[in-house]
């Protein structure tokens, strides 16, 4: 493959970034747009990705025909669902090469700059990926209803449910449960109308509240944060069980949860050497890596 | 109030029954229809109730004008949400008296034939009610997303989530998790498409599977059933804390969960003396009881 151009796309659940480089790594253009989740909205995600790619060519002053000399790697939210990943790969044509991976996979390659290693992304949702140098192994990433243990949305959901139980005197009320109920004006009916429209991100807004009160020593908040930490321990344990290589913890929960993790988890954590976009471009430039 | 006729309606989440009697309790007519949940479908619920009431008059050979001599008590699913209960009460007119309560409240009156006591309905959802002889006190009944701890749907959701974790080797797979994954052909993608349409009753179908494997000694199923039992213990403890009177456990989980409850809960359980329809008619005939 004799490519002149390389495009990496990091398409997460909240924003999508694209970067166009030369073979030597020189950055020619960078563009950003909204979310690109091929599972929750396939057509919109592909449209976003196409627009971003055209945007990078335009910014670099290149004709769209340059695509024939471009190697592209997309890391898209929702691409852990294999049938959607394959469908996306078939829809995007005209490139010298194009590969669709999940956003977690390119983050894993970026974090370890292509070396074997693992990442666990714990934000609104949770997803783990391990790269052994030849193959990816994913765990989680199945969303709020089925999985997302160790995530901010799951922690937030437990906080809201427990706050309602405290409101009904099934659990001892505390400053923590009071703060959560404050959001709903202490009305279960308001909660009920909120819940019918609540997205995982909405539930997740009660995750910082939980950390805050756990740090202040609130018994219930501490229990919920510990439960989240055990779930992350469990995934980290799985991700690091079969290799000497460490894991990188990413996402909004990475920093607040770290002190709550067990010793073994903390010992396994290593800092990211690069980000997801670095990972996508590394894969685009290194065909040997991209034969998953 | 000089009423000749009395109508009780038990409107649950799956079926709705109505009974028309004379003052002496003689049954003149009985009709049955589908669900009548005023929270999840207000208009349909009221239409069902109106049709059932007309049906009982027709069956008894009475003119619809008999409503002016009829005292009516409706126990409707969703009426624990006060604003919906009041709205229903305002919509149904033309009766000598009409009162809307929740299905759990009339079940409580029926179970203890008007005496002080409590009921906990643990089926697809969960809801507790205590009647102290003057006032109802409700707990739970806020639905699958916010509450329903100790219910079949919640147990089933945990079973499905744990089965997926076992499928991904985050938890040790067992005959139990295998049976759950069998339902989805061992495909997380199939689960994902199922979950987007799953109702609480759909989740609840994995509750019997959980009991079955807990009885066989499966470690994970045992843990999930015990968790459900502790949640029911917690609600029973709350319902019986302030009175000498016992509680009646009703709904699909009542029988399978009983051996898993703690000693204190089991000691507090008493059998129902009547059903929800008995409760509604008792309230319709006994104005003093119905001043909640």
A182–chain B Cβ distance below 8 A for any pair: no
Q: Other C-beta atoms within 10 Å of A90: how many?
A: 10
Contact between A44 and A65 under an 8 Å Cβ cutoff? The reply is: no
The pLDDT tens digits for B94-142 are 999 999 999 999 999 999 999 999 999 999 999 999 999 999 999 999 9
CB contact under 8 A, A165 and B149: yes
More confident residue, B36 or A129: A129
Which residues of B fall within a CB distance of 8 Å from A143?
A: 192, 195
Residue to mutate among A126, A138, A168, with most B CBs inside 10 A, is A168
Mean pLDDT for the stretch of residues B218-247: 94
CATH 3.30.420.40 fits B5-113+273-285, yes or no: yes
Check residue B1 and give its pLDDT.
52
A166–chain B Cβ distance below 8 A for any pair: no
Check residue B278 and give its pLDDT.
96
Which residues of A fall within a CB distance of 8 Å from B198?
A: 145
CB contact under 8 A, A160 and B139: no
The pLDDT tens digits for B196-212 are 999 999 999 999 999 99
Chain mean pLDDT for chain B:
94
Distance between CA atoms of B11 and B45, rounded to whole angstroms? 8
What's the order of all strands across the beta sheet hosting A247-250?
A136-140, A126-131, A117-122, A247-250
Q: How far is B8 from chain A (nearest CA, A)?
A: 27
The domain made up of B152-268 has a fold known as: Nucleotidyltransferase; domain 5 (3.30.420)
Q: Where are the domains of chain A?
A: 5-113+273-285, 152-268
The pLDDT tens digits for B183-196 are 999 999 999 999 99
Check residue A289 and give its pLDDT.
55
The pLDDT tens digits for B41-66 are 999 999 999 999 999 999 999 999 99
pLDDT band at B14 (very low <50, low <70, confident <90, very high): confident
pLDDT band at B67 (very low <50, low <70, confident <90, very high): very high
Are B5-113+273-285 and B152-268 equal in CATH topology? yes
The pLDDT tens digits for A48-59 are 999 999 999 999
CB contact under 8 A, A146 and B165: no
Q: Helical H runs in B30-151?
A: 42-60, 82-91, 103-111
Helix (H), strand (E) counts: chain A = 12, 9
Residue of A nearest to B83 (CA): A189
Which residues of A fall within a CB distance of 8 Å from B170?
A: 139, 234-235, 238
Lowest-confidence region among A160-164, A261-265, B32-36:
B32-36
Q: Is the pLDDT of residue B243 over 90?
A: no
Residue A287, C-beta contacts closer than 8 angstroms, at least 6 positions apart? A1, A71, A97
CB contact under 8 A, B146 and A140: no
B185–chain A Cβ distance below 8 A for any pair: no
SS (H, E, C) A203-269: HHCHHHHHHHHHHCCCHHHHHHHHHHHHHHHHHHHHHHCCCCCCEEEECCCHHHHHHHCCHHHHHHE
B139–chain A Cβ distance below 8 A for any pair: yes
Q: Is the pLDDT of residue B241 over 50?
A: yes
Check residue B291 and give its pLDDT.
45
CB contact under 8 A, A142 and B191: yes
Check residue B288 and give its pLDDT.
55
Which residues of B fall within a CB distance of 8 Å from A169?
A: 139, 238
């Amino acid at each position: 493959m004799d490519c002149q151009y390389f495009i990496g796309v990091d398409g997460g659940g909240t924003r999508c970034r694209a970067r166009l480089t030369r073979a030597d790594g020189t950055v020619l253009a960078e563009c950003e747009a909204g979310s690109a989740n091929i599972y929750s909205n396939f057509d919109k995600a592909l449209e976003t990705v196409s627009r971003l790619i055209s945007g990078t060519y335009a910014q670099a002053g290149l004709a769209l025909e340059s695509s024939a000399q471009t190697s592209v790697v997309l890391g898209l939210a929702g691409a852990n669902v294999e049938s959607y990943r394959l469908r996306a790969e078939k829809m995007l044509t005209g490139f010298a090469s194009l590969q669709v991976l999940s956003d977690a996979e390119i983050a894993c390659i970026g974090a370890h700059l292509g070396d074997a290693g693992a990442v666990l992304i714990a934000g609104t949702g949770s997803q783990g990926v391990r790269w052994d140098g030849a193959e990816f192994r994913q765990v989680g990433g199945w969303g709020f209803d089925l999985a997302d243990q160790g995530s901010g949305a799951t922690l937030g959901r437990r906080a809201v449910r427990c706050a309602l139980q405290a409101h009904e005197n099934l659990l001892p009320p505390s400053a923590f449960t009071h703060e959560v109920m404050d959001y709903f004006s202490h009305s279960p009916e308001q909660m009920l109308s909120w819940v019918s429209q609540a997205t995982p991100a909405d539930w997740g807004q009660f995750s910082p509240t939980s950390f805050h009160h756990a740090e202040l020593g609130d018994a219930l908040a501490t229990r919920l944060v510990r439960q989240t930490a055990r779930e992350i321990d469990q995934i980290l344990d799985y991700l690091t069980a079969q290799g000497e290589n460490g894991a990188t913890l990413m996402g909004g929960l990475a920093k607040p949860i770290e002190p709550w993790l067990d010793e073994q988890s903390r010992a396994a954590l290593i800092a990211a050497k690069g980000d997801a976009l670095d990972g996508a471009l590394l894969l685009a430039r290194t065909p040997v890596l991209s034969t998953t």
